[in-house]
Structure 1
C-alpha cells in the first residue's frame, strides 16, 4: 500500500484507539512498516474509565491513548 507521497507500507491500521495503537506497535516490533490512520475523535472519550484492560483497569481513556501514543 502506498500513500499520497509514495511511501510504501506493509500494513495500514485504521483507528488509533488502544487496539489500533497496539496493533501498530506489535507490527512495528515485527519489523513491518506501518501507518496508523485515525480521525482523533475517540468514541469512548465520554467514558469515566477503561475497564477489563490488564493492569490499567479504570484508567481514563484519554490517558490510555496518551500513553499509547508516547510509546
Structure 2
C-alpha cells in the first residue's frame, strides 16, 4: 500500500465531513466520493465508473474507522 501524507488524509477527512447528507453509516460511500473528487477534480455522477486510487481509498477508510472522526 502506498504511503500518503497526513495532510492529504486530513484534507480528505475534512472534505468527507463537509459533504451534504454526510453519514457515518455510509462512510464507505463518502470516502469513495472524496477519493474520486481528489483524482478527477469533480464529484462522481450517478453512474460514474472512472477508476479511483484504491490504496488511497483504503487508507482513508481505515483512518476514518480507526479514529471515529
TM-score (norm 2): 0.27
Which is richer in helix? 2
TM-score (norm 1): 0.27
Which is richer in strand? 1
